[in-house]
Amino acid sequence: PHCLARERLSKWTPSGNNARLSLSNTSDVPVSEEQLDCILEVMGSSWAQSTKETYGVGLLVFHVYCDSLKIPEDQHCPVSPTLLLAFLSSCAGSYSGSALANYTASLKAWHLLHGHPWIVNAKELKAIIDGAMVLVPESSKCSKREPFTIHILSIICSSINLSDHRDTAIFACITTTFYAIARAHSVT
């Protein structure tokens, strides 16, 4: 259904029977649709809104990929390892490795939330994401910047008016941040 990205994890239900309902029918304890909705709501609350938004994007990209290949809805979940690897490899070179890791996490969360098994080999998954990181084009990588040094602090200090409270506050923030970051290794 059409919904916000952050709602896709819960509202985009996998096709076919509800996996949790199917499992509960085999036990002695009956579980109602209302109880299943409660499970979905509580489990869905474990992810931050920003995470749900990121995961919603991953689900969309995956479904667009599947639709472009005319893969039936019932094969989207549980996803076969080969389909997942084919999807990720098709994104390699166009998306960053971290984007692919997020897409994978979104699909895994979607499976978990709806009670479907995640049958993907972790080593294969790591290898495909590592490979995708190697294939990221140089044009999409930022070049390294010159380091921020004490010399730069001196230049800033000489170009501002330390009699002005605003300039003094800004310079205090810059120097505090600089030395805090420079000494971060001492506390980690």
Tens of pLDDT, residues 91-136: 998 888 889 999 999 999 999 999 899 999 999 999 999 999 888 8
Specify the pLDDT at position 142: 72
131 domain residue, yes or no: yes
What is the pTM for the complete model shown?
0.70
What pLDDT was estimated at residue 188? 58
In this prediction, residue 20 has a pLDDT band, given cuts at 50, 70 and 90, of low
Using the 3D structure, point to which of 140, 159, 176 is the last residue of a domain: 140
Q: Six-digit token pair at 97?
A: 């490795």
Do 12 and 105 reside in the same domain of the chain?
yes
Q: For residue 18, how many other CB atoms are within 10 A of its CB?
A: 18
Total number of domains in the chain: 2
**Residue 1: pLDDT over 90:** no
Residue 21 lies in a domain: yes
Assess whether pLDDT exceeds 60 at residue 25. no
174: containing domain? 150-187
Count CA atoms within 13 Å of residue 113 on its CB side. 26
